[in-house]
Amino acid sequence: MAVGITVFATLYRTIIGVSALPHHLPIISADAIELSGEHQDLIASLVPYNADQTLHAVTSLRKAGIDAETSAFLLSQAKLRTKAQAKFGDLAHHLLLTDAGLEQATRAAVAAAHARRFAEAGIESVADLGCGIGADSLAFAREGLAVTAVELDAETAKITAHNLSGYPTAQVIQADITALNVESLTDTQGRAVQGLWLDPARREVEGGTTSKRVWDAEAFSPPLSFVRQLAARGIPMGVKMGPGIPHDQIPAECEAQWVTHAGSLVEVILWFNALARPEVGRAATALSDNPVTPRVLGEIIAHHDEAPADEVPLAPVGDFIYEPDAAVIRAGLVAPLAKALGAHLIDPNIAYLTTHHEVESPLVTGYRVRRTLPLHEKHLKKWVKEEGITTLTIKKRGVDIVPETLRSKLLAGVKKKKGAVKAATLIATRIGTGNNSQRFALYVEPLPFTAAPSHKAK
């Protein structure tokens, strides 16, 4: 049953806990939320949203005959679509969104990488169990897969149905995934679903306005034990988890793939059965910064049966220092990467690599070391003055400093000559622990990024 824009404004309030609709449909029609072309155009006209222009926008909408409730909805959607462009690019212009749904939604390029894995495995239809507002479902549909999206919350399911309305092989079901017989799920053509995708809820809402992240895998919804029961049936399956999940909670029978997008660590995916690459136990994958289309910049893998990596020799800081990609660090693959690059660790507990020769890899951020300095405010202030530094980037690992605070102290009193800007980068770190710890700062020059082939741990 279609609902008009005014009714949907009420529906939008239900998502933030104000009221509830009286009916629930197990299979959600794409017309469950109906927006006129005029209202779609009005939302588009308000993007990019500018908070300073809210009063002017409201006045214009009211003059156009739009009531207060609908105006509030249109402005909310404009604000969310503006924010969503970072995750969805131009796809955001066609979506209905909620604050919680947008926060938890997978970035479009990352979701596209998920869909590509299913397609490359020969899977033609997938069930997205716990689909939220449909970010991954949308990627599956764009990849040409038939999609059955399942969502417990009826109002969120209606939003997903709207977001997937342009794809005839996509359908949305409102149901509790833990009560479903997933093997009986069929796509719009009546074919059995061939693969499963799950994104267990990682947030608990408190008081309707705040939330805290859940790290206990059994406290997720659904819990990891439910995931393993599904996987035991042999169904090809991918499960998105928070990248901070403890390694000892990751099932031994899956491939665990940590992923960064545009340099940010975004997830670990547990791939089961036919979606897991043969013998791959752990992987770290870096994706490019394109907001919609994924491109793998680099990857390093380790096999299930590999013994722990031999200890990488330590060495003093050489001519170059490298910071491994966050996915590499979280996957525990720093030592294999160091071996692949011919690099050394500066300390067994600090994830910085060093070489005397320049190496190129998308799995590290590299710097040329120009000078080693004592990590003392007095010495560093003198260095700033001598070098004429006006802009300072400070990175740290293994030392208890606040980069923003230290930067403010070091640049205090610096007089900037008109048109004269000199930028510098410091890396604050240490070697050793306790009384044997040596703290220092490295004055470094960032190296240009150059893509290199993927690496395989051996």
What pTM did the predictor assign? Answer: 0.87
Are 288 and 407 found together in one domain? Answer: no
389, part of any domain: yes
294, part of any domain: yes
Are 163 and 114 found together in one domain? Answer: yes
Q: What is the 3-state secondary structure (H, E, C) of the chain?
A: CCCCHHHHHHHHHHHCCCCCCCCCCCEECCCCCCCCHHHHHHHHHCCCCCHHHHHHHHHHHHHCCCCHHHHHHHHHHHHHHHHHHHHHHHHHHHCCCCHHHHHHCCCHHHHHHHHHHHHHCCCCEEEEECCCCCHHHHHHHHCCCEEEEEECCHHHHHHHHHHCCCCCCEEEEECCHHHCCHHHCECCCCCECCEEEECCECEEEECCCEEEECCCHHHCECCHHHHHHHHCCCCCEEEEECCCCCHHHCCCCCEEEEEEECCEEEEEEEEEHHHCCCCEEEEEEEECCCCCCCCEEEEEEEECCCCCCCCCCECCCCCEEEEECHHHHHHCCHHHHHHHHCCEEEECCEEEEEECCCCCCCCEEEEEEEEEEECCHHHHHHHHHHHCCCEEEEEECCCCCCHHHHHHHHHCCCCCCCCCCCEEEEEEEEECCHHHCEEEEEEEEECCCCCCCCEECC
Last residue of a domain, one of 257, 274, 303: 303
Are 215 and 297 found together in one domain? Answer: yes
Q: What is the pLDDT along the chain (458 residues), one digit of tens a residue?
A: 333 443 344 344 333 222 222 233 356 766 667 677 888 888 999 999 988 888 888 988 988 888 888 899 999 999 999 999 999 999 999 999 999 999 999 999 999 999 999 999 999 999 999 999 999 999 999 999 999 999 999 999 999 999 999 999 999 999 999 999 998 999 999 999 999 999 998 655 454 444 555 578 788 889 999 999 999 999 999 999 999 999 999 999 999 999 999 999 999 999 999 999 999 999 999 999 998 888 999 999 999 876 555 678 899 999 999 999 999 999 999 999 999 999 999 999 999 999 999 999 999 999 999 999 999 999 999 999 999 999 999 999 999 999 999 999 999 988 777 667 899 999 999 998 777 889 999 999 999 864 444 444 43
Q: Nearest CA to 196 among 240, 159, 156, 158?
A: 240
178, part of any domain: yes
Tokens of 130: 């716990």
Last residue of a domain, one of 51, 83, 101: 101
CATH for 226: 3.40.50.150
Are 236 and 285 found together in one domain? Answer: yes
312, part of any domain: no
70, part of any domain: yes
413, part of any domain: yes
Are 429 and 368 found together in one domain? Answer: yes
326, part of any domain: yes
Name the residue range of residue 76's domain: 5-101
Judge contact between 437 and 350, C-beta under 8 A.
no
Are 408 and 423 found together in one domain? Answer: yes
Query: Partners of 350 in the beta sheet?
Result: 347
Are 288 and 339 found together in one domain? Answer: no
Last residue of a domain, one of 86, 101, 116: 101
Q: How many domains does the chain have?
A: 3
